[in-house]
Structure formats: structure tokens, C-alpha cells
């Protein structure tokens, strides 16, 4: 799967077609991603010591084939190619040829 956490994606099919958001979680084994503000579902939760409970809206998983990465140069949907540059395997946007830079991991 070429989509990773922190990537900006656009939904290509389904009821949320055209919406853009950041990938909050990528699940490569299930080929699914969770995108911020996309595929919202209502969840009935019971009250606990930490939360009041009630009906909560949250993002549900969407199939990775239904989203496309946003090209860093044009801002439109693009496919992803893998190339080896300076001995490192990097992701490259097919439309513009630009290297896709993911989020840098936060140091603790």
C-alpha cells in the first residue's frame, strides 16, 4: 500500500467523493485507511469515568482503492510510483514527478 499516515488524500468514489483530508491511520493488512472528516459514522457509547457517553461521530475506515494521493505540485489526485534515489526508496507522484514527502516522525 502506497498511502501512509499523514498523507493528504482525496476521495475518488462513494458518498464522500471529492472530500480531502489527512490520513489518520493506515491499515495495510486490511487495505484500508481512516481519513480525517471522511466516512463519518454515529457511535452510541455508554458513559464511563472518562467520558459522558451519548452519540459520538467518528471516522470509519475506507478502502484504500477509493482514495488517491494529492500531488504536492498541482493539488490534484495522482498515482504513486516507487523510485530509488540516492540509494533510498522514495514515493514519486506520477503526474508531476515530484518526490512525496511524508511527515517526519516526532522524537520523544
Domain definitions of the chain by residue range: 8-93
Q: Are 81 and 2 in contact (CB under 8 A)?
A: no
Q: What is the pTM of this model?
A: 0.82
What pLDDT, in 10s, does the model give residues 50-83?
988 899 999 999 999 999 999 988 889 999 999 9
What pLDDT, in 10s, does the model give residues 3-26?
999 999 999 999 999 999 999 999
E strand map for 1-108:
8-11, 20-27, 32-35, 40-45, 54-59, 62-63, 67-70, 77-78, 80-85, 88-93
Top CATH class of 8-93 equals mainly beta
Alpha carbon distance 7, 2 (integer Å) = 10
Q: 459522558: which residue's cell?
A: 52
Pick from 74, 60, 61: which is nearest to 3 by CA?
A: 61
Amino acid at each position: 500500500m502506497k498511502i501512509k499516515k499523514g498523507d493528504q488524500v482525496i476521495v475518488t468514489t462513494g458518498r464522500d467523493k471529492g472530500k480531502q483530508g489527512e490520513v489518520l491511520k493506515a491499515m495495510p493488512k486490511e487495505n484500508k485507511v481512516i481519513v480525517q472528516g471522511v466516512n463519518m459514522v454515529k457511535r452510541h457509547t455508554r458513559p464511563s469515568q472518562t467520558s459522558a457517553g451519548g452519540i459520538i461521530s467518528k471516522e470509519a475506515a475506507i478502502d484504500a482503492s477509493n482514495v488517491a494521493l494529492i500531488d504536492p505540485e498541482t493539488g490534484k489526485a495522482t498515482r504513486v510510483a516507487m523510485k530509488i534515489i540516492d540509494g533510498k526508496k522514495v514515493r514519486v507522484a506520477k503526474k508531476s514527478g515530484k518526490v512525496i514527502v511524508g511527515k517526519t516522525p516526532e522524537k520523544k
